[in-house]
Amino acid sequence: MDNTTPDQWQAIVNKKLHFPPELIAAIQEDNALLVGSLLSTGDGIIRQLDESEDRLWREALNLSIRMGNEDTFSALMLGVKFDFRQIYEALLVAVDTNQPRVVKRLLDRLDQEKGNKMDVRSFSMAIFDHSIDDSQFAPGVTPLTLACQKDLYDIVTMLTKKGHAIPLPHSISCTCLECRNGRQYDLLKFSLSRINTYRGMASRAYLSITTEDAMLSAFRLSRELRKLSKKEPEFKPQYLSLEELCQEFAVEMLAMCRNQSEVTTVLNICDDDNEDELDEQTFEEGIPTLSRLRLAVNYNQKLFVSHPICQQVLSSIWCGNIPGWRGSKTVWKLTVSLGIFFTMPLLCMIYWVAPKSKIGKTLKIPVIKFLLHSASYLWFIITLLAESIFMEMYRDEFASRQQNILYNSLHMIWVVGFFWSECKNVWAEGLRGYIVDWSNILDMIVLSMYLASFGLRVLIMAIGHFVCQDQNLVEKCAYFTQTLRDEWWQEDPQLISEILFAVTSMLSFTRLAYILPAHESLGTLQISIGIMIDDMMRFMFLLMIIGTAFLCGLNNIYVPYATSPHLGRFNETFSFLFWTMFGASNQGYVDMPDFVLAQFVGRVLYGVFTLVIVIILLNMLIAMITNSFQKIEDDADVEWKFARSKLYLSYFREGSTIPVPFNLVPSPKALQGWTECHIACRWSRRWYSAT
């Protein structure tokens, strides 16, 4: 070897090592000596491998790992110079078979080859590698993702210390060069790579080892997976299963709490970065912040929120220091509720005068605050019913221009109070946090309609007063003050006001559903009704398409004929088909004895309409509603506890102790705050002027 020339030495080094046919059998027999002799070249030089035999060398290395033959594996590693891709696949096999020592040796070999830099980059690098198209592992699977999927904590720790990481996949709509190339090269491999990456990220091992706050990471990943299930419906089951896995992991971590101190730490402590995701609100004095629990509600973590530990904490805060409320009989609770209902004005007056008294502190307890607000809303509903009865008793006066605006405006005291309360909620939660809840949007719509109805009635009175002051507008004065209802315009402000009041009165009763989650059975029904309404909205879209098709067809048949008074016009045809769905229309309307062909086609279309709409679609709607109701019933406990938790948290907030309409009266505490603010502003202006 010492007399070898540089050219001869280069030829020896570049000589390729061909695959021995007996190597596979020697590995299967665990004959390390034979393996070493087959790989021995006599000159001690580790040979490069022939690329045409790449698959054979991979199978040999992978087989030695799978059989657990460390001697043969060592012989292969010492006698053959494997390239990065071969080592990479062998590393996957070692992880798959859970052999930490082999993984460590392969990682050290990768460090020598400086190939680990390729591994820690994005998962999509494997997409373009033709040499691993026939690999047994799915696209995008890296050693770290595979170890995470199998929850191999030792190997995950070993890989992360070597710098391996799972990069977060780009957005599904990302248009960067890497994502565009991945989609164009192989769209299926690109999608499967994303799925496998999220499988690794959703594993217990990855969340536990690689994140400082594993519970919060599980919350965020769960929300991300839920969004992806809607954006990529092709893989919806896979994403939802991973989302459920994240929720279960968070619940398991919560279940590890051994005492109340640990529970308090878990539910109340939240990082400063996470505080920005919560509503800017403070709770009553003595009530913990429950930052992480509120974050779980925002992230829709139903399993976590409905866990007995969280429910026990919420229930203890909800009842406060009222002895015997939890576990007491329903009769006693109803008695207390009725007492609060009838003494609500007196209780509010006591709180207004002495908020720090024993009664005032009792009224701050969330359950008492809830009963106060519920009693106030029930009084509002009773006022609406009384006004409706009063309008019926004095029908003639309310049907004319001479009605007194004060006779049916008592409810406006509550409306103004509700409006002021909603403004305070917007200030406390922020506009973005306020509009996220659909019930807040419904409240603002109802309140806006109440204010518009009242404003139109005031407008009628104002127009009548000012118009009658001008002698040149006698006709308008008579219209706005003396005309009968039959002579009013169709767009008359008073008519619009009455319609708005009727609609809002109906919607006001739906707001009672807000208090239903406080009771288990009623809360479950309320959730079921909400899901059913969503099903009906989707069903109405299909019904509108099919109904419009038959409406157009039947109407076009009867348009040229004047013999049918109920068909041939869109309004009459629509009314006829609408009431047909409920079996309340006359089938003889489609008959035209003088025109046999048109009558036959009309009857056929009407029969098909009845078959499709009445028999098929309506029964399909019943099946959809039944299915939705059954889903809620199967998971009724979780759904109800989650809805109840949101109700509880809304009454933990500081302030809003006095219900509507008593919240319109400034309390001494508020007056003191305004006075201090005014004094501070004056002093700041003086100081600014002096400087």
Look at residue 324 and tell me whether its pLDDT is greater than 80: no
Task: Work out the burial of residue 110: count CB atoms within 10 Å of its CB; fewer than 13 is exposed, 13-18 middle, 19 or more buried.
Answer: buried
Look at residue 43 and tell me whether its pLDDT is greater than 50: no
Write the CA distances from 39 to 21, 58, 452, integer angstroms. Answer: 11, 15, 92
Which residue, chain included where needed, has tokens 């019933």?
633
Supply the pLDDT for residue 52.
Answer: 52
Where exactly are the structural domains of the chain? 365-517, 521-650
Which amino acid type is present at position 429? E
HSE of 321, CA atoms in CB hemisphere, 13 A: 8
Distance between CA 600 and CA 7 in Å, rounded? 99
Averaging pLDDT over each range in 64-78, 234-248, 388-402, 432-446, which range is the top one?
234-248
Write the CA distances from 212 to 151, 215, 370, 438, 515, integer angstroms. Answer: 18, 9, 38, 34, 39
Cβ neighbours of 254 (radius 10 Å): 22
Nearest 5°: the CA angle 529, 436, 201 is 95
Q: How confident is the model at residue 42 (pLDDT cuts 50, 70, 90)?
A: very low
Which amino acid type is present at position 207? L
Structure tokens at 91: 């590393």
pLDDT, tens digit, for every residue of 55-67?
677 777 778 788 8
Closest C-alpha to 60, from 42, 39, 37: 39
Distance between CA 290 and CA 266 in Å, rounded? 9
pLDDT, tens digit, for every residue of 642-684?
999 999 988 888 777 888 888 888 776 666 666 666 566 666 6
Mean of per-residue pLDDT scores for the chain: 80
Q: CB of 315 within 8 A of CB of 350? A: no
| Domain 521-650 part of CATH 1.10.3470 | no
**36 or 362, greater pLDDT:** 362
Distance between CA 411 and CA 386 in Å, rounded? 10
pLDDT, tens digit, for every residue of 442-499?
889 999 999 999 998 888 888 887 878 777 777 778 887 778 887 888 888 888 888 9
Which residue, chain included where needed, has tokens 């609609």?
503
pLDDT, tens digit, for every residue of 228-238?
998 888 889 99
Buried b (16+ CB within 10 A) or exposed e, 389-417: eebeeeeeebeebebeeeebeebbebbbb
Look at residue 15 and tell me whether its pLDDT is greater than 60: no
Cβ neighbours of 489 (radius 10 Å): 10
Structure tokens at 649: 């948290």
Closest C-alpha to 170, from 231, 240, 116: 231
Look at residue 281 and tell me whether its pLDDT is greater than 90: no
* Omega before residue 661 within 30° of 0, cis: yes
Judged by average pLDDT, the poorest of 120-124, 305-309, 374-378, 459-463 is 120-124
**H helix or E strand, kind and range, residue 341:** helix 330-342
Look at residue 72 and tell me whether its pLDDT is greater than 50: yes
Nearest 5°: the CA angle 623, 626, 627 is 85
pLDDT, tens digit, for every residue of 623-649?
888 888 888 788 888 989 999 999 998
Task: Work out the burial of residue 91: count CB atoms within 10 Å of its CB; fewer than 13 is exposed, 13-18 middle, 19 or more buried.
Answer: buried
Find residue 16's DSSP bridge partners.
48
Return the SS3 of 356. Answer: coil
Task: Work out the burial of residue 322: count CB atoms within 10 Å of its CB; fewer than 13 is exposed, 13-18 middle, 19 or more buried.
Answer: middle
pTM for this predicted structure: 0.80
Give the DSSP letter of residue 76: H
Please report, rounded to a whole number, the percentage of residues in the chain having pLDDT higher than 70: 83
Give the DSSP letter of residue 17: E
Q: CB of 77 within 8 A of CB of 105? A: yes
**220 or 582, greater pLDDT:** 220
Q: How confident is the model at residue 47 (pLDDT cuts 50, 70, 90)?
A: low
pLDDT, tens digit, for every residue of 505-544?
888 888 888 888 888 888 888 888 888 888 888 888 888 8
Displacement of CA 226 from its chain's centroid (Å)? 8
**9 or 469, greater pLDDT:** 469
Closest C-alpha to 143, from 196, 195, 65, 179: 196
Look at residue 77 and tell me whether its pLDDT is greater than 70: yes
Distance between CA 550 and CA 608 in Å, rounded? 9
